[in-house]
Amino acid sequence: MKKLLTILVIVVAVFAVVYAFSGKSGANNKVLVAYFSATGNTATVADKLATAIGADLFAIEPAQVYTAEDLDWKNEKSRASVEMADRGSRPEIASQVENMEKYDVVFLGFPIWWGREPSIIDTFVDSYDFNGKTVIPFATSGSTPDTAEAEENFRMLMPADIKTGKRFPVDVSEEELKAWASEWL
Ligand SMILES: Cc1cc2nc3c(=O)[nH]c(=O)nc-3n(C[C@H](O)[C@H](O)[C@H](O)COP(=O)(O)O)c2cc1C
């Protein structure tokens, strides 16, 4: 009887160690950094973030690339102005994330356009089932200090657990990004 009990305790202990280790190794917690960047700033931050935390990286590339003219926010007839004035606008994306279902945590990066996420980010959000995923926004901007408006929109657009995100300067360090992201890893 004592022998049986010892074996049982060992079996339970082995399972506990394997379970704890699989969590820490990321087996149940696959992480994706997905981002859109029109002029390279957000791409720089996304790249550093993915490297810092060892995550997969996906660039949300528009089917039709944004030219400098398209991005002219001073012209109300520019492509960006027209898209952003229409909340239903969903600019086409060139490629898809493979096996989106394997990711539990998605860091979603974008430049702030008129205080919020560019419409192509809404296309991305509409393209996948986010049920059960954790989404953490991050952004670059000229001066908008946070991602609050985007978070409000995301909560209406997808059934994910949307965390409070952060706006970063382009020269943010990998160490700072890692420390910030570690809360969700
Ligand atoms: C169409 C457009 C709208 C923008 N709107 C804002 C804004 O509302 N607030 C802000 O701080 N910056 C704004 N910016 C500046 C960008 O957020 C900033 O330059 C960002 O770092 C660009 O990132 P990217 O190089 O990844 O595209 C805007 C830029 C563009 C092109």
Kindly list the distances between the CA atom of residue 8 and the CA atoms of 3, 5, 21, 123, in Å, as whole numbers in the listed order: 9, 5, 20, 52
Pick the atom of ligand 1 nearest to 114's CA.
8
Probe target for ligand 1 pocket from 35, 66, 73, 116, with the most ligand atoms within 8 Å of CB: 73
pLDDT at 5: 60
Q: Is the CB of 80 under 6 A from ligand 1?
A: yes
Tokens read off for 60: 């949300």
Q: Tell the residue nearest (CA) to atom 5 of ligand 1.
A: 113
Residue range 118-137, pLDDT digits in tens:
999 999 999 999 999 999 99
Share of residues in the chain with pLDDT > 90 (%): 84
Domains of the chain (ranges, CATH numbers): 29-184 (3.40.50.360)
Q: Is the CB of 40 under 6 A from ligand 1?
A: yes
Residue range 38-82, pLDDT digits in tens:
999 999 999 999 999 999 999 999 999 999 999 999 999 999 999
Predicted confidence (pLDDT) at residue 12 exceeds the cutoff of 80: no
pLDDT at 28: 39
Can you spell out the DSSP letters for 94-153? Answer: S---TTGGGEEEEEEEEE-BTTB--HHHHHHHHTS--TT-EEEEEEE-SS----HHHHHH
3-state secondary structure of 163: coil
The pLDDT confidence band at residue 22, using thresholds 50, 70 and 90, is very low
pTM for this entry: 0.88
Find all residues with CB under 8 Å of 71, minimum gap 6, and list them. 38, 39, 78, 79, 80
Find all residues with CB under 8 Å of 150, minimum gap 6, and list them. 110, 112, 116, 117, 121, 137, 139, 165
Q: Is the CB of 147 under 6 A from ligand 1?
A: no
pLDDT at 15: 55
Give dist(CA 154, CA 117) in Å, integer: 9
For residues 106 and 115, is the Cβ–Cβ distance under 8 A? no
- The dihedral of CA 40, 41, 46, 48: what is its sign? positive
Q: Tell the residue nearest (CA) to atom 17 of ligand 1.
A: 141
